[in-house]
Amino acid sequence: MLTLIVAMVMTVMPDKPVLPKGHVPYAIKLDGTPANGFLLPGGKVDVLLVETVDKGKAKGSVVIEDQLIVAVDTVADPARKETLITVTLAVKPETAKSLIVAEKKGQLRLVLRAAPEE
């Protein structure tokens, strides 16, 4: 059986450095939730941790706020009817460590921040 995989990669300002000085890239894999289509390079997000606690109840907490999106990679697999999205953020090295620990505890979710008012 042949599976068609379509990939699209978008980056911010390819003629300029994508990562701010002192930052490292950190990729977060997401499911194909429709709202994820609004996550675009140049946007800002908060990263939340959703973890299961006592008796199967979910708990959410903010891990980091106001992080720059530098790339979005979308892979659609029509045979499985799913879309996988990887969002790469520009984070400080210490923040990357916190995200690694958070991923071990549960699932990371991204919340798009509103554009600043001018």
Decide: 35 and 106 in contact? Cβ < 8 Å: no
Q: Under DSSP, is residue 94 helix (H, G, I), strand (E, B) or coil?
A: helix
**When comparing pLDDT for 84 and 2, which is higher?**
84
pLDDT bucket at 82, cuts 50 / 70 / 90: confident
17, pLDDT greater than 60:
no
Decide: 78 and 98 in contact? Cβ < 8 Å: no
pTM score of the predicted model: 0.76
Which DSSP state fits 1?
-
User: Which CA distances in Å does 45 have to 1, 54, 69, 107?
Assistant: 38, 28, 7, 16
89, pLDDT greater than 70:
yes
Distance of CA 21 to the CA centre of its chain: 20
* Mean pLDDT, all residues of the chain: 80
What one-character-per-residue DSSP string does 35-78 give? GGGG--TT-EEEEEEEEE-GGG-EEEEEEEEEEEEEEEEEEEET
